[in-house]
Amino acid sequence: MSVNRRAAVVGGLASIAAPHIARAETLTDAAGRAVAIPSRMERVFPAGPPAAITHYTLQPRTLLGWPRANRGAELIYLDPDVATRPELGRLTGRGNTTNLEVLLQLRPDLILDIGSTARTFVETADRVQAQTGIPYALLDGRFEAIPASYRLHGRLVGETARAEELARFCEDIVATCRSRVAGVPRERRPRVYYARGPRGLDTGLGGSINVETIEFMGAVNVAGGTRGGLATVSLEQVFAWDPEVIITIDREFAGAVRRDPSWAGVRAVTEGRVHLSPKLPFGWVDFPPSVNRMPGLIWLGKILYPSLFPEDLVAFTRDFYARFYHRTPNDVQIAAVLEGRE
């Protein structure tokens, strides 16, 4: 143990003194911080799930590991060599589980965080960068910012061509969805209830990151009258809203709601419009809030406006997974994704 600690300290001093950082050119990250571009780019430490997923899509060979180890069926859809890299914990503003000495031992060339650029996260980045001497880049994780963040990310890690390709692909999906939805008059937009938790009574309020995809697709979030994050509502309130469509991420709830007498009167249940979101290897609708939600737009489009979204979801999924996740799933594997398996 003392040997490990000594190695960590030596590693840290070596990083601080390393000449390649001192000479490096700098780049302004999404929080307006100057980040030195490392001249050597072999090892990238992801601060949280969005950074890990995005970096995996862009430059898998340099990804040091994952905030949480991939397990079970998730591994089928990822490059086996990269997907099995170790669990590293999180290094975000709150819920910090990474030990900085362990971080130093991993000798990362860059720490990458994608998400909020609020002050908590900016100060975490500054502090960790000062403590470890390792460049710490903070990119904007908002849905709208995904293409721009890809381009900045590409310049940081020297992968501009691929970053441009992925950014364009995302821009195309977003633009297609936006233009198709824009023409739908408000009264023809389905009123959607987003259900989480085993009871299905946790939901995302207006503007919350959890319902970002649903609201982007022009659906009327029945809980959108109150702005905020996640909240619990009563079943009575769901009856009062009487949603036409229920989108859920909870397999337990999706299975139970069709047989549950308490939910029997809700219109979406009566009309068979309860939809369980795909979540292999990463969620399509809610979390993690990253590029993994792109196919969720097409999936939601087909649910909300069947006539406007003629895409073949199987073909689309195959193409997206091959392009972003470096592995082409077969039809059985795609069917498992679309069923919402975990």
Partner 1 sequence: MRHGIGALGGIALGTAMLALSVAIAFSVGRFPVGFADLVRALWAAASGAPSGLSPAAEAVIFNIRGPRVVAAILCGAALAVAGAAFQGLFRNPLVSPDILGASSGAALGAVLGIFLSLGIFGIQALAFGGGLLAVALVYMIGSSIRSGDTVLILVLTGVVVGSLLGAGVGLMKYLADPYNQLPAMTFWLLGSLAGTDRSDLAPLFGPIALGTAVLLALRWRMNVLSLPEEEARALGLATGPIRIAIVAAATLVTSASVAAAGIIGWVGLIVPHMARFLVGPAFGRLMPTAALLGGGYMLAIDTLARSAAQVEIPLGILTAVIGTPVFIWLLASSRKTWT
Interface residues with partner 1 (CB under 8 A) are: 49, 68, 90, 95, 97, 196-199, 201-202, 205, 223, 225-226, 228, 230-237, 239-240, 242, 249, 252, 256, 260-262, 264-265, 286-288
CB 214 within 8 A of CB 239: no
- Give least dist CB 243 to partner 1, A: 13
- Give least dist CB 283 to partner 1, A: 8
Instruction: Decide whether 135 or 288 has the Cβ nearer to partner 1.
Output: 288
- Give least dist CB 63 to partner 1, A: 20
In this structure, the number of other CB atoms found within 10 A of the CB of residue 73 comes to 15
- Give least dist CB 290 to partner 1, A: 11
Which single residue is written with the structure tokens 């009258």?
225
Instruction: Decide whether 126 or 242 has the Cβ nearer to partner 1.
Output: 242
User: CA 122, CA 120: separation in Å to the nearest integer?
Assistant: 6
Instruction: Decide whether 232 or 328 has the Cβ nearer to partner 1.
Output: 232
CB 230 within 8 A of CB 208: yes
Phi, psi of 290, deg, nearest 5: -155, -165
From the list 319, 314, 310, 312, the residue with the least C-alpha distance to 331 is 314
- Give least dist CB 278 to partner 1, A: 15
Instruction: Decide whether 4 or 97 has the Cβ nearer to partner 1.
Output: 97
CB 281 within 8 A of CB 325: yes
Instruction: Decide whether 16 or 100 has the Cβ nearer to partner 1.
Output: 100
192 φψ region: left (φ > 0), alpha (ψ -120 to 50), beta (else): beta
